[in-house]
Every structure is written in C-alpha cells, then in structure tokens.
C-alpha cells in the first residue's frame, strides 16, 4: 500500500533568493558548500540564475529571477529568501505524479522531459504547504552536471565542514492545518506517522506547538510538520507564519559525524547559533548519562544533548539565516537515537523566546 510512490532520496532543496550570487558565497564560505554547477545568462538562460551547491550528499540550489515578474522574484517579494522546492529523487517521475495526483495532490508541473548530450532528465511537481512545491526528479538516465542547461563549475573535492546529509526537514503550517498536511503525505505519497508531539510535550509560557513527524517507507525522508498551539503570547511558529507570509520550511537539519569539528568550523566562519545558558550543562551527565564527547567542549560550543532508549544525539540550532525570522538550520549527530531531541525542547524554546523578545515579537 505504501509503495505506490517510492522515494530514493532527497535530491535537492531549491531556495528562491534575492541575490543568488551573494547567497552562493554565504553557503560556501559560511557553511562549507561547493558550487558545482551553474545556469544563467552566461550559459544562455535568460530568465533566472541558479547555483548548485554541494556538500556530502546534500545539494542546495540557489535561484534568483532576473525580472520583477519572474515567479522567483514574486516569491521573494512575498516570503523573503526561502526554500521553495523540496526535490525528491524517484525511479519514475511520471508514475510519482500519476499516483500522487490520483490520490488528491494538486499538480504544479506536469511530467516534463529535458534532453541534451548527457541523456534524459525527467521531473514534475505537486503543491505542498504554502507555496512550497514537491518536485519529483528522475535522473537515472542523465549523466550530466545537475540538469540540462547547467554548466559544471568546481568539483566538490573538499569535505566542507563535514555536513553529510539532510536528516529532516521541518515545516510550519497554520493553526489547525497540521493534521490536514500529515494526511496529505500519508494519502498522496504513502508516508507514515513516525511520532506525534502535542502542546503538553512542547510547551513554555509562549511557545506551545504541536508537531507530527511524517516519514517515507524507507525512513530516509523525515518531514516534521508544526502548527502553533494556544499560548500566552505569540509563539515562534506564529512569528514565522507572520514573517514568511504563510506556511513554509522552518528548518533543515544536516547530519554530521563530528559535530564538535563541524560547529567549531561554522563558528569560525561567522555562523551564529542560539545562545544556551551555561546552567544547561550543570548536571548534564546526570540527565543524559555517559557520552563520548567532553561536556566542557559542548558547553563552549553550545551543543545540546538528548537521550532515549536507543542512544543519544547531539544537536545545535543556528540563528535565522535571513533578515526575516524565518528559516534556520540544525546540525545533528546521532549516536543510536532516532528522535528529535524532545528533552531539549523546553530549553530550546526558551532560548528562541529570548531572541523573539529582542526582536519585539513575543
Ligand atoms: Fe529539527
């Protein structure tokens, strides 16, 4: 039943941005990505520019529209720089489109084929939350650089800052919409509910929220969906919805095998993280048990720890990476634990609320 829309992997995330040239420098100097392919005026494409940025198995595409009426420029006007497209690799894009739309997904781009000397590249897309698209990409018959029309740039030779893969991708949706979108992933793509958090699990005075984590049949694609819950003031989800002008991607979690090394490099290149009070580290070992990493080092870098029955995890969250308090990133290192750091939710949300208060949005 759940095999009607098999997903191979995250193919890429496409960001619609105001200035892809500058964003490419931010993701390369700040986050260790390499620009591996490019499409724009110089390659004969007149409408937009796109920079393909790679690190480990992660691929980001940064795109800017070259005229005010281009859909990318329109999206940036509305949402600011944001993740507009979640691209998933499939074996058969036309089948993914047929199966998902037959089950209620709304089509955005019908099955499309592009061909050059490197083979055939197929894709299509359906609408998800807000203005976000889910794009199905079929690249098994294509050997070229990213997609037809793109020219290769630098080969991705360095290991960057050690980011390996997309661990999970979180969306914020409107009050009352979480169940509808969880059902959407279940109905149209055969995803299952992995875990459900309610406002009792995730609650401070302000930041009550509910979350359902949907995952595909392989467990490789994890998509948590948050909605705000009734609290005393404006929750972090409401702040996001206001500044993003609607639902969208809140954060991307990148997996690393060495979070201490990764975060040290990110901090050295100027990436800012949420500030966690030093008191978090008092009695940490009592709360989470024995871990391999030195607690003093984690405290120095602001890395959080959580444990469940399967093991432990280390995680950290950046400040928003746009001027609008919308998108941010997480870096996560898993030692057995497959959860999301529930034990840290309270400390984390209090840290977010301190920043929200500084922005005058609490
Ligand atoms: Fe996360």
Burial label, 9 (beta-carbon count in 10 A; 0-12, 13-18, 19+): middle
Looking at residue 157, its pLDDT comes to: 66
Ligand 1 centroid distance, CA of 284 (Å): 20
- Same-domain check for residues 137 and 237: no
- Same-domain check for residues 102 and 54: yes
**222 falls within a domain:** yes
**2 falls within a domain:** no
- Same-domain check for residues 127 and 261: no
- Same-domain check for residues 235 and 351: yes
Ligand 1 centroid distance, CA of 282 (Å): 24
**297 falls within a domain:** yes
Ligand 1 centroid distance, CA of 215 (Å): 14
Ligand 1 centroid distance, CA of 253 (Å): 5
Reduce the secondary structure of 139-192 to three states and give it as a string. Answer: CCCECCCCCCCCEECCCCCCCCCCEEEEEEEEEECCCCCHHHHHHHHHHHHCCE
Query: 116 near 103, Cβ under 8 Å?
Result: no
Ligand 1 centroid distance, CA of 252 (Å): 7
Looking at residue 2, its pLDDT comes to: 56
243: which 2 tokens? 């500044």
- Same-domain check for residues 139 and 282: no
The C-alpha atoms of residue 200 and residue 192 are separated, in whole angstroms, by 22
How would you classify the pairing of strands 119-127 and 151-152?
unpaired
Looking at residue 351, its pLDDT comes to: 86
**95 falls within a domain:** yes
- Same-domain check for residues 193 and 258: yes
- Same-domain check for residues 251 and 330: yes
Ligand 1 centroid distance, CA of 99 (Å): 29
Looking at residue 154, its pLDDT comes to: 85
Q: Provide the residue range defining the domain that includes 219.
A: 163-359
**173 falls within a domain:** yes
Mean pLDDT by 10 residues, the chain (362 residues): 86 98 97 97 97 97 98 98 98 98 98 97 98 98 97 84 98 96 97 90 76 94 93 86 98 98 98 92 91 95 95 97 97 95 86 89 86
Ligand 1 centroid distance, CA of 170 (Å): 7
Looking at residue 155, its pLDDT comes to: 77
Ligand 1 centroid distance, CA of 31 (Å): 17
Ligand 1 centroid distance, CA of 6 (Å): 24
Ligand 1 centroid distance, CA of 207 (Å): 16
| Of 126, 152, 178, the domain-final residue | 152
Looking at residue 175, its pLDDT comes to: 93
**Domains in the chain, number:** 2
Ligand 1 centroid distance, CA of 300 (Å): 21
Looking at residue 73, its pLDDT comes to: 98
Ligand 1 centroid distance, CA of 16 (Å): 22
Torsion of CA 139, 41, 152, 94, to 10 degrees: 0
Looking at residue 320, its pLDDT comes to: 96
- Same-domain check for residues 189 and 332: yes
Query: 188 near 329, Cβ under 8 Å?
Result: no
Ligand 1 centroid distance, CA of 9 (Å): 18
**31 falls within a domain:** yes
Closest-CA residue to 163 (of 6, 347, 2, 27): 27
Which CATH number belongs to the domain containing residue 355 in this structure? 3.10.180.10
This prediction has a pTM of 0.96
**299 falls within a domain:** yes
| Of 125, 152, 179, the domain-final residue | 152
String of DSSP letters for 102-140:
HTTPPEEEEEEEEEETTEEEEEEEEE-STT-EEEEEE-T
**251 falls within a domain:** yes
Looking at residue 6, its pLDDT comes to: 95
| Of 97, 118, 152, the domain-final residue | 152
Ligand 1 centroid distance, CA of 46 (Å): 37
Ligand 1 centroid distance, CA of 299 (Å): 20
Residues pairing with 189 in the sheet: none
- Same-domain check for residues 195 and 331: yes
Ligand 1 centroid distance, CA of 120 (Å): 35
CA distances from 215 to 16, 121, 123, 196, 273 (A): 25, 26, 22, 12, 27
Ligand 1 centroid distance, CA of 94 (Å): 31
Closest-CA residue to 295 (of 260, 258, 261): 260
Dmax over CA atoms of the chain, in Å, equals: 61
- Same-domain check for residues 276 and 194: yes
- Same-domain check for residues 202 and 129: no
The C-alpha atoms of residue 97 and residue 126 are separated, in whole angstroms, by 7
Ligand 1 centroid distance, CA of 227 (Å): 14
- Same-domain check for residues 176 and 320: yes
């Amino acid at each position: 039943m759940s095999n009607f829309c098999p997903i191979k992997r995250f193919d890429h995330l496409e960001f619609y941005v105001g200035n892809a040239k500058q964003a490419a420098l931010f993701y390369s100097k700040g986050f260790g990505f390499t620009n591996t392919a490019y499409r724009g005026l110089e390659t004969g494409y007149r409408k937009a520019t796109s920079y393909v940025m790679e690190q480990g198995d992660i691929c980001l595409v940064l795109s800017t529209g070259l005229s005010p009426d281009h859909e990318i420029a329109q999206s940036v006007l509305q949402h600011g720089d944001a993740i507009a497209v979640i691209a998933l690799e499939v074996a058969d894009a036309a089948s993914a489109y047929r199966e998902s739309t037959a089950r209620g997904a709304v089509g955005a781009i019908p099955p499309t084929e592009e061909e050059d000397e490197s083979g055939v590249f197929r894709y299509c897309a359906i609408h998800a939350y807000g203005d976000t698209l889910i794009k199905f990409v079929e690249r098994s018959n294509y050997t070229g650089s990213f997609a037809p029309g793109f020219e290769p740039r630098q080969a991705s030779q360095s290991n960057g800052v050690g980011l390996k893969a997309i661990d999970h991708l979180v969306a914020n949706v409107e009050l009352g919409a979480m169940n509808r979108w969880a059902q959407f992933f279940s109905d149209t793509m055969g995803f299952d509910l992995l875990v459900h958090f309610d406002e009792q699990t995730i609650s401070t005075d302000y930041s009550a929220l509910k979350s359902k984590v949907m995952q595909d049949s392989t467990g490789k694609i994890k998509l948590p969906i948050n909605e705000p819950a009734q609290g005393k003031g404006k929750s972090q989800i409401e702040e996001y919805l206001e500044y993003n002008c609607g639902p969208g991607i809140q954060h991307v979690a990148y997996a690393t095998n060495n979070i201490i090394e990764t975060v040290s490099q990110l901090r050295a290149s100027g990436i800012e993280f949420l500030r966690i009070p030093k008191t978090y580290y008092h009695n940490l070992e009592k709360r989470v048990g024995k871990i391999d990493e030195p607690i003093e080092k984690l405290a120095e870098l602001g890395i959080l720890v959580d444990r469940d029955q399967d093991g432990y995890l280390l995680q950290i969250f950046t400040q928003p990476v746009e001027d609008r308090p919308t998108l941010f990133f997480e870096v996560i290192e898993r030692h057995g634990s497959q959860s999301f750091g529930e034990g840290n939710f309270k400390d984390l949300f209090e840290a977010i609320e301190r920043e929200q208060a500084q922005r005058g949005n609490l």
